[in-house]
Chain A
Amino acid sequence: MSTRLVLRRLGLGILTLWLVSLVIFAATLALPGDAAQAILGREATPERVAALRDQLNLDEPVVSQYVKWLGGIVTGDLGQSAATQAPVGELLSSRVGNSLFLVLISALFAIPLSILVGVWTAMRRDRPVDHVVSTTSLILASLPEFVIGIALILLFATGVVQLFPAVSLLGPDQRAWDDPNVVVLPAATLVLAVVPYVSRIMRGSMVEVLESEYVTMAGLKGLSRRTVIWRHAVPNAIVPAIQVIALQLAYLAGGVVVVEFVFSYPGIGAALVEAVGNRDMPVVQAVVMLAAGIYVGLNLLADVATILVTPKLRTAGR
């Protein structure tokens, strides 16, 4: 049964995450000299250094440092920020919400849009529209996110048209959804970065499905064009796109870093950039672990979804 396949993938996912945690932990070992001193800088008082040494369990053997750190991550105790001394969990909780909101909004627009563009261009294959869309996609797909983001700022937030704020100014107690205007440009950037990839895959698989016999058959049976497309062709064409959609969402776990920084959007990506600048290792480690978790989790979901919608795999071993 497919259960075994799914469990195997789940096991591999957990194994991967464990190995990822080793790599992240190793980053503190790579700090030159005394880790606590390296994080706090030369001006730090000996008391602060001692306190951080204690928090990171630096006086203990490496293995027990790692076990305690991993135990903290698993139980949700992420330690204290080395820069602000606030608990990392508290520091990140509002930002995680903001980032999720951003990604969710982006996905909500990007996924239907890519499917529509893919279907639409597949139906007009090799016509001028198809070529225009494919060239535009190629260009958009080449551009780094920060280039797209800054282009949007130049177009919509400065000069003639000042429709949206260039930077996301939010009060400390405000969340992104209190002022949806701040999310427009960051989300638009992510949508523009994702749609070219997904729509391309969607187009490719739609072209194949449109050439298949059952679509011709459905047409010959006298079904309306709309029914043939939306009831018969699209659902089958979406299957190969699922994996790509999930991977694109996973990709957003990295993409938000730069986009949030461009717009000073108060999410975990911007928090990561700030923490890297401050060498705030507890925060860096927590965010990187989170990003890797999302990445691995979405990959896993993509695999499971593929197993479930592929008859050959679904019944494998039956």
Chain B
Amino acid sequence: MSDQTVDRAVDVALSAPLPPPDAAGSRGRFSLLADAARLTRTRIGLAIVGVVVLVALGGPLVAPHSPTEFVAIPNSAPSGEALFGADALGRDVWSRFLHGGSSVLWLAVASTVLGMVVGVAVGLIAAYSRNWLDDLLMRTNDVLLAFPQIIFVLLAVSALGPQLWLIVLTVGLTHAPRVARIMRGAALEVVERDFIKSAEVVGEKRWRIVFGELLPNVTSPLMVETGLRMTYSIALVAGISFLGFGLQPPTADWGLMINENRLSITVQAWAVMLPVIAIGLFTVGTNLVTDGISRALIGLDRKASS
């Protein structure tokens, strides 16, 4: 079973075919990224992500209009005044598009980081402890895993309202048990190795063993998982905005733009198409990079075992 990376199912289902953690530690980490960067798909992915990030961060600097300024007749066609026409309220589609990417980017990065930090910590602690704590953490995981991610976010939003911190928190928290499961699976093998035992014998503190010895040896699955979570984060964060529970009007945001203009899609398709294409490219880009890393990983394993 080759590229299991992009499997949304894998994070829930198959902990078995995980690539073994690299024994070489930090050296393996960099050679893995170097190997990944040699693959065409990784390069294409990086180029796409680069362009999207550039648009998201640099867009506001080159936007011809303010995102909230009324410049033309609502839903009017592209003109000299508005390059891609005006949206349902008469604002410049192009300017709103250029302003609307940074929120998606930051929210996705923040929730990915949160999910990875919590998930890695929980997964490694569970793998290392192998006692009641392991059981407790994994049962808690099962409960959180029983919620489809977007439904958990919506439950929280219904109680506390559409707040950005809440979206980062809930998207991150729903990533965490999925990350934890993968990281625990990867760490279980490492825990059995001699250097962990010798660290115990020497009397190293437990948290130092977990984060100083265990963590550096599971960086490969960690990198793959980070890429995967980033892809899902973008989809979730943009999706929540699209449903109307992310950024609130009149802010320019890609997800929200689709929501605001979807009913006039037949007369003014650009206002929907630009953000849809950008979000689509972003997720495809991050997933191509992730796929490249996991392919490089499989290549490394082949070399190691031969």
Shortest CB distance B23–A (Å): 26
**B224-270 CB contacts (< 8 Å) to partner A:** 231, 234-236, 238-239, 242-245, 258, 262, 265-266, 269
Residue A113 at the chain B interface, CB threshold 8 Å: no
Interface residue tally for chain B (C-beta within 8 Å): 53
* B244, A254: Cβ atoms closer than 8 Å: no
Decide: A20 near B245, CB < 8 A? Known: A150-B276, A200-B3, A291-B148: no
Instruction: Find the B residue at minimum CB distance from A22.
Output: B143
Q: Which of the segments A104-112, A182-190, A273-281 contacts the partner chain?
A: A273-281
* B291, A138: Cβ atoms closer than 8 Å: yes
C-alpha gap A250/B13 in the complex (Å):
12
C-alpha gap A24/B146 in the complex (Å):
12
Q: A20-31, CB under 8 A of B: which get 1 and which 0? A: 100110011011
Decide: A146 near B154, CB < 8 A? Known: A16-B143, A138-B288, A288-B147: no
Residue A141 at the chain B interface, CB threshold 8 Å: yes
Residue A49 at the chain B interface, CB threshold 8 Å: no
C-alpha gap A288/B152 in the complex (Å):
8
C-alpha gap A31/B161 in the complex (Å):
9
C-alpha gap A148/B279 in the complex (Å):
11
B242 contacts across to A, CB distance below 8 A = 146, 258, 261
C-alpha gap A200/B245 in the complex (Å):
33
Q: B264-289, CB under 8 A of A: which get 1 and which 0? A: 01100100110010011001101110
* B265, A154: Cβ atoms closer than 8 Å: yes
Instruction: Find the B residue at minimum CB distance from A246.
Output: B13
Residue B201 at the chain A interface, CB threshold 8 Å: no
Instruction: Find the A residue at minimum CB distance from B148.
Output: A254
Instruction: Find the B residue at minimum CB distance from A245.
Output: B9
B14 contacts across to A, CB distance below 8 A = 240, 243-244
* B151, A138: Cβ atoms closer than 8 Å: no
Decide: A144 near B283, CB < 8 A? Known: A31-B159, A159-B269, A276-B157: yes
Residue A170 at the chain B interface, CB threshold 8 Å: no
C-alpha gap A194/B290 in the complex (Å):
19
From the candidates A20, A28, A197, name the one contacting B159 in the complex (CB within 8 A): A28
C-alpha gap A303/B273 in the complex (Å):
41
Shortest CB distance B262–A (Å): 7
Instruction: Find the B residue at minimum CB distance from A292.
Output: B146
A258 contacts across to B, CB distance below 8 A = 150, 239, 242-243
B3 contacts across to A, CB distance below 8 A = 134, 138, 200
Q: B111-150, CB under 8 A of A: which get 1 and which 0? A: 0000000000000000000000000000000110011111
From the candidates A32, A146, A240, name the one contacting B258 in the complex (CB within 8 A): A146
Residue A120 at the chain B interface, CB threshold 8 Å: no
From the candidates B154, B265, B273, name the one contacting A276 in the complex (CB within 8 A): B154
**A251-265 CB contacts (< 8 Å) to partner B:** 251, 253-255, 257-258, 261-262
C-alpha gap A71/B258 in the complex (Å):
41
Residue A69 at the chain B interface, CB threshold 8 Å: no
C-alpha gap A247/B234 in the complex (Å):
21
C-alpha gap A262/B276 in the complex (Å):
12
B155 contacts across to A, CB distance below 8 A = 23-24, 27, 284, 288
The secondary-structure label for the interface of chain A is helix
* A158, B9: Cβ atoms closer than 8 Å: no
Residue B2 at the chain A interface, CB threshold 8 Å: yes
Residue A17 at the chain B interface, CB threshold 8 Å: yes
Q: Which of the segments A54-62, A201-209, A219-227 contacts the partner chain?
A: A201-209
Residue A151 at the chain B interface, CB threshold 8 Å: yes
C-alpha gap A17/B9 in the complex (Å):
21
* A141, B6: Cβ atoms closer than 8 Å: yes
* B158, A279: Cβ atoms closer than 8 Å: yes
C-alpha gap A250/B149 in the complex (Å):
12
* A138, B142: Cβ atoms closer than 8 Å: no
A273 contacts across to B, CB distance below 8 A = 154, 243-244
Residue A44 at the chain B interface, CB threshold 8 Å: no
Instruction: Find the A residue at minimum CB distance from B232.
Output: A144
Residue B54 at the chain A interface, CB threshold 8 Å: no
From the candidates B13, B156, B157, B239, name the one contacting A144 in the complex (CB within 8 A): B239
C-alpha gap A296/B262 in the complex (Å):
34
B280 contacts across to A, CB distance below 8 A = 142-144, 147, 151
A243 contacts across to B, CB distance below 8 A = 9, 13-14
- A binding-site residues for B, Cβ under 8 Å: 12, 16-17, 19-20, 23-24, 27-28, 30-32, 134, 138-139, 141-147, 150-151, 153-154, 158-159, 166, 196-197, 200-201, 204-205, 208, 240, 243-244, 247-248, 250-251, 253-255, 257-258, 261-262, 272-273, 275-277, 279-281, 284, 287-288, 291-292, 295-296, 299, 302
30 examples of A-B residue contacts, CB within 8 angstroms: A12-B142, A16-B146, A27-B155, A28-B159, A30-B160, A32-B160, A134-B3, A138-B287, A141-B8, A143-B283, A144-B280, A145-B239, A147-B276, A150-B276, A154-B265, A197-B6, A200-B6, A204-B2, A244-B13, A250-B148, A251-B148, A254-B150, A257-B150, A261-B242, A273-B243, A276-B154, A276-B243, A281-B158, A284-B154, A296-B146
